[in-house]
Amino acid sequence: MEQRLSVITLGVADLGRARDFYDSLGWKPANDNTEEIESIVAYNLIGFSLALFPLDKLAEDTTVTMTKGMHPSFTLAYTVQTPGEVDQTLQQVEAAGGTIIKPGQKVFWGGYSGYFSDLDGYLWEVAHNPFASHGEDGSFRW
């Protein structure tokens, strides 16, 4: 198995509402087929894709019972170039309906970060890591 991810799929309670949230952040769906977008919304990110899929359909597909709400056993991270961008991004998220869990602040590992939850309770970190960099294509590198 190669060392990579292809798609992260988030089970969402209301696909239209979730799409509107990510649209409010400026994200553009990769799939624009109306029939398909009513069942799954995909965003092409640098190096992989993020998909939004109805929670009940994801449970059916995986044969695993799933619940709506906070998912604290993992986080998704969005990295930026400066501490100021952390605060700007969190403001944008809050305006779009996300919940700020932890405002941007200096953190023990030497960076600056904050956390929010999206409309379905997924935890996102917005971070500036002074020990890492972004490639010309925007990709994150340790």
- The whole-model pTM stands at 0.85
Domain ranges of the chain: 7-62, 76-141
Average pLDDT, integer, range 69-88: 90
Q: What is the pLDDT of residues 52-62, one digit of tens each?
A: 999 999 988 88
Q: Average the pLDDT over each of 26-35, 71-80, 96-105 and give the range with the smallest value.
A: 26-35
Higher pLDDT, 65 or 27: 27
Q: What is the pLDDT of residues 95-139, one digit of tens each?
A: 999 999 999 999 999 999 999 999 999 999 999 999 998 888 888
Q: Which fold has domain 76-141?
A: 2,3-Dihydroxybiphenyl 1,2-Dioxygenase; domain 1 (3.10.180)
Same fold, 7-62 and 76-141: yes
Per residue, the 3-state secondary structure of the chain, as one string, reads: CCCCCCEEEEEECCHHHHHHHHHHCCCCCCCCCHHHHCCCEEEECCCCEEEEEEHHHHHHHHCCCCCCCCCCCCCEEEEECCHHHHHHHHHHHHHCCCEEEEEEEECCCCCEEEEEECCCCCEEEEEECCCCEECCCCCEEC
Q: Which CATH architecture has domain 7-62?
A: Roll (3.10)
pLDDT attached to residue 24: 96
Higher pLDDT, 96 or 65: 96
